[in-house]
Amino acid sequence: MPILPASYILADDGTPYSDTFGDVYHSAAGAVGQANHVFLGGNGLPARWRGRDRFVIVETGFGLGLNFLATWAAWRSDPERAATLHFVSCELHPFSVNDLAALHARWPEFAQLAAELRAAWPSLTPGVHRLHLDDDRVFLTLYFGDARDGLAQLDVRADAFLLDGFSPARNPDLWSQKVFYLLGRMAAPGATLATWSVAGEVREGLRRAGFEVEKAPGFAGKRQMLRGRHLGRRVRPGDENTAAHKPDVPTVRHAIVIGAGVAGSSATERLAARGWTVDVIDAADRPGQRASGNHAGVLRPLPSLDDNRMSRLTRTGTLYGWRHIRRLRARGMALRAEACGVLHLARDAAQLSKMQSVVERLALPESLLRFVDADEAERIGGWPVALGGWWFSDSGWVQPPTLCAANLAAHPQRVRSHFGRPVAQIERVADEWRAFDGDGCLIAAAPVLILAAGTGLSDFPLAEALPMVSARGQVSLLEAATGSAPRVVICRMGYVSPEVDGLRCAGATFDVGDDETHLRERDHRENIDKLEAMLPGYTADLDATTLRGRVGFRPASPDRLPMIGAVPVAGAVAPRTPLSAIPRQPGLYALSGFGARGLVWSALAGELLASLICGDPSPVENDLIAAVDPARFLLRSVRQSATED
């Protein structure tokens, strides 16, 4: 469902008022006072987070973000605060960043924090958005959409709940029995809640969901508020089918990552940002030299009419990927990337019509996706084209090796690199994984091991249950003058990049099961043909016999989705077994199957895997976690066998 931004007016006393719901965004007596008294005080904060490694708060309505800002400020000012703060919130109608700036100006005490929040504020698109604040110590996870959908899809164990939103009379959906039940399902042992509402239906609904509640003195002119505590999680039939696999969280924060491409380097950076020590092992002499070694690759989403899993994952991955690049640059990392825009041209009139329908149905912000006709596409691309298509103005190209290097350099004190060391064997001894080279010498040992070795995943017998294939890809490198057309990325059955250091990439081929390592003239011709179909007349002076290029082998999965999660134990699985119940290799994870979309998946995949390993709230919805779980292929084998029988 498209996201409609919030609209507001100011009441006579200056309080923001929603003309959609006919209610104020906060108490007229003061938003900060209400946040501190009702939501922080009602949950026993800051005392309850003291000495904790992580504290997780779930809020039912983000609004202006004042509860979050007040919580963040209280956390920062507490010398005994939890090491990390996770704040998870849902919002059906989020504010635009410009409206937030205007509204936040009324609270100068939050000026610095509010500015950092707005700088990270995501595009107003449906689904989960993970923001990293305060040097990766504060995680803000926003779900844009109906809270009833978001709470059902968020993998969270909450220590405290802030029940905030427009009044039950004005917005009954946010105070429904379904919402209360979902909150109860999220509750960690000892979880508390607080809200300004003391309505009888609220108290009874919370009681039915397993909360013990009591009235307490309210804020300012409001006589009472409500606070409560969850009495213990009640697992109902079906709960186990929605849960992700929950590995034991290691007590020693040390991991081995095999592979220093976009997958392995992203996981390394995300774990190192959480304080982990990571040993990165790669057979090459530097990062990003195999499938991640191209001169320029594309980072953009792949929309669909039904907004399927691929569409949602590539959109989330693209948005998170560009935020990740901005964070790395803020840390001084010199990676090569440019959000110059991506123009995706239609193949024919039928596809053009479908592309226009996709844009109309999804109704995403124009900066993310817009339909353009042939004339506008020609102006954007700087070259005559036959048909228009999609314009992704906030997308662009990335140079993968520089991204890999930046990931590994972002936390130098926590990352140890072992280049030029092919891993010949891995084994688990007691609670520790060990990686050995071809001479039997130990390279590294740690409780957690991540297989991010691209097509080399199939070299490890413990990953034999994962049906990964190798896809040969050849790109052609074209000499290009600075400022020459196209100055944006253009796609149509392939892609061509702008000029980057005097060269542009064109390609790429995709041949499964082809192990030829040398450049082939016929593949250069294929890339030239794709380029000519995109930009008629562009290839007149190109000679396939003289072109330079590069060959890489990309790991691909049968369903074109990546593999992110704990490696399953190979063996028979009973029909209808929940993913969460499939046995896993302890402490062993896979990060592979990226295919031709390594740049799109990598940053989000690294954050998802780090969240799964550490037991953090997830940065994507539960159904998307299941869609990329490596164990999904065991269940598909069972279904296929049942069909054949």
- Predicted confidence at residue 292, as pLDDT, reads 86
Task: Please determine, for residue 490, whether its predicted confidence score (pLDDT) is greater than 90.
Answer: yes
Task: Please determine, for residue 147, whether its predicted confidence score (pLDDT) is greater than 70.
Answer: yes
- Predicted confidence at residue 544, as pLDDT, reads 95
Q: What is the CA radius of gyration of the chain?
A: 26
**Bridge partners, residue 511, by sequence:** 472
- Predicted confidence at residue 233, as pLDDT, reads 61
- Domains of the chain: which residue ranges? 8-234, 254-290+402-461+588-644
Q: What residues contact 274, with CB distance under 8 A and at least 6 apart?
A: 84, 136, 253, 610, 614
Hunting for tokens 């520790």 — which residue is that?
A: 432
Q: How far is the CA of 307 from the CAs of 125, 316, 370, 455, in angstroms?
A: 12, 12, 15, 29
Q: Kindly report, residue by residue over 595-608, the tens digit of the pLDDT.
A: 999 999 999 999 99
Instruction: Considering only residues 22 and 45, tell me which one the structure prediction assigns the higher pLDDT.
Output: 45
Q: Among 266, 257, 315, which residue's Cα sits nearest to residue 292?
A: 266
Mean pLDDT value of segment 457-461: 92
Mean pLDDT value of segment 550-555: 94
Task: Please determine, for residue 637, whether its predicted confidence score (pLDDT) is greater than 80.
Answer: no
Half-sphere exposure of 203 (CA within 13 A, CB side): 13
Q: Among 124, 172, 176, 123, which residue's Cα sits nearest to residue 152?
A: 176
Mean pLDDT value of segment 76-92: 97
Mean pLDDT value of segment 29-34: 83
In this prediction the pTM is 0.95
Cis peptide before 508 (omega within 30 of 0): yes
Task: Please determine, for residue 28, whether its predicted confidence score (pLDDT) is greater than 70.
Answer: no
Q: Regarding the domain delimited by 254-290+402-461+588-644, which CATH topology (the fold level of the hierarchy) does it fall under?
A: FAD/NAD(P)-binding domain (3.50.50)
Q: Kindly report, residue by residue over 303-318, the tens digit of the pLDDT.
A: 999 999 999 999 999 9
Mean pLDDT value of segment 31-58: 96
Q: Answer for the pair 371, 356: CB distance below 8 angstroms, yes or no.
A: yes
Cis peptide before 486 (omega within 30 of 0): yes
Task: Please determine, for residue 238, whether its predicted confidence score (pLDDT) is greater than 50.
Answer: no
- Predicted confidence at residue 20, as pLDDT, reads 81
Mean pLDDT value of segment 486-512: 95
Task: Please determine, for residue 237, whether its predicted confidence score (pLDDT) is greater than 70.
Answer: no
3-state secondary structure 177-204: HHHHHHHHHHEEEEEEEEECCCCHHHHH
- Predicted confidence at residue 628, as pLDDT, reads 97
Q: Answer for the pair 519, 474: CB distance below 8 angstroms, yes or no.
A: yes
What mean pLDDT is reported for the chain?
93
Q: Answer for the pair 459, 274: CB distance below 8 angstroms, yes or no.
A: no
Task: Please determine, for residue 642, whether its predicted confidence score (pLDDT) is greater than 50.
Answer: no
**Bridge partners, residue 563, by sequence:** 592
Task: Please determine, for residue 645, whether its predicted confidence score (pLDDT) is greater than 70.
Answer: no
Q: What residues contact 532, with CB distance under 8 A and at least 6 apart?
A: 538, 539
3-state secondary structure 200-217: HHHHHHHHHCCEEEEEEE
> In the chain, pLDDT over 70 holds for what percent of residues?
96
Termini Cα distance of the chain: 40
Identify the weakest region by mean pLDDT among 62-66, 231-235, 346-350, 404-408: 231-235
Q: Answer for the pair 17, 7: CB distance below 8 angstroms, yes or no.
A: no
Q: Which two tokens stand for residue 634?
A: 């065991």
Hunting for tokens 């070694």 — which residue is that?
A: 293
Q: Regarding the domain delimited by 8-234, which CATH topology (the fold level of the hierarchy) does it fall under?
A: Rossmann fold (3.40.50)
**What is the dihedral sign for C-alpha 475, 481, 484, 488?**
positive
Q: Among 406, 407, 445, 405, which residue's Cα sits nearest to residue 425?
A: 445
Q: Kindly report, residue by residue over 554-565, the tens digit of the pLDDT.
A: 999 999 999 999
Q: How many of the other CB atoms lie within 10 Å of CB of 50?
A: 13
Mean pLDDT value of segment 322-346: 97
Q: Kindly report, residue by residue over 241-294, the tens digit of the pLDDT.
A: 445 667 778 889 999 999 999 999 999 999 999 999 999 999 999 999 988 889
